[in-house]
Amino acid sequence: MFDELSRKLESKVDKKLSSKSKKRQLGDGFKKGKTINEVLDKPTVMTLYKMIADHVISYVNGAVSAGKESVLFWGVDENKKDVALKIYLVGTSNFKKRESYITGDPRFSSLKKGTKNMVYLWAKKEFRNLLQCHEAGLPVPEPILVTNNVLIMNFIGTDGAPSKTLLGSQVDESDYLQSISLLQDLYQKAKLVHGDYSEYNIFKTDSRLVVFDLGSAVDLRHPNSHEFLKRDISNMTRFFSKRGIPVKDPDVVYGKITK
């Protein structure tokens, strides 16, 4: 059973990754065989199988994007609605640096050691951050379920193609203002600092900006939250000024968000 599902998924991933455009999108650090084996290790396939058996999803369509620490799959639920499955790679060593985004957050005070536990906790943290934002009415992919290293959320895009990020979009001053007001809502309404707020982690849909990749987001009480917020603001300042858009003084923005 596992082997069959695993084989099916692997061939889909293979097909997807062998297309030219996909290779371009995958970037440098990607090692094909390694990632496929890491994503589809037996426990991950088991988790996916359970999600199908529990009727949370009906099937997995294929890989959409592969990063160093996670792979994003396009799935479909029983109502034929598209969902995004973010599968965190358990075999990656990059989770060491993530520890500092968890230690100090009072929501995650008991920390079990070991990479696998850290990866599972990171997935749970992203889920919780998404939920906190969604409940506060912020534009994020709606979180559906997290089990082990697999997080399911609403798919932002059409027919398995994710919406464009700010990086790949035409942007104007209203996008800058919206991105700052989103940061402010994150801080004031969801009580979070994103921690990795950049043109790579914000979708520009037809109607609005949608922020995602919230694994790094920390509670305002985290000792480094203000340092992270300053970095988030400076990422926006840098990106929009590079595109020739008038930006505000980052200190003034910081003051307004934290007032």
128 Cβ neighbours under 8 A, 6+ residues apart: 107
Q: x/- site string to Mg ion, residues 163 to 202, per CB under 5 A?
A: --------------------------------------x-
Question: CB under 5 A: which stretch of 125-133, 156-164, 206-214, 242-250 binds Mg ion?
Answer: 206-214
248-252 contact pairs (CB < 8 A, 24+): 248/180
Active-site pick, 185, 213, 219, 232: 213
Whether residue 251 lies in the annotated active site? no
User: Are the CB atoms for 143 and 134 separated by under 8 Å?
Assistant: yes
> What's the min distance (Å) between Cβ of 108 and Mg ion?
21
Is 160 a binding residue for ligand ATP by CB under 6 A? The answer is no
Whether residue 213 lies in the annotated active site? yes
Pick one of ligand ATP, Mg ion, none as the site partner of residue 65 (Cβ within 5 to 8 A by kind): ligand ATP
Q: Which of 72, 138, 145, 245 binds ligand ATP (CB under 6 A)?
A: 72
Within residues 86-145, the interface with ligand ATP by CB under 6 A covers: 86, 141
Q: Rounded CA gap, 160 and 14, in Å? A: 16
Q: Which residue has the tokens 């943290």?
A: 125
Q: Where does residue 231 rank: exposed (0-12), middle (13-18), buried (19+ CB within 10 A)?
A: middle
Query: Which residues are designated catalytic?
Result: 196, 213
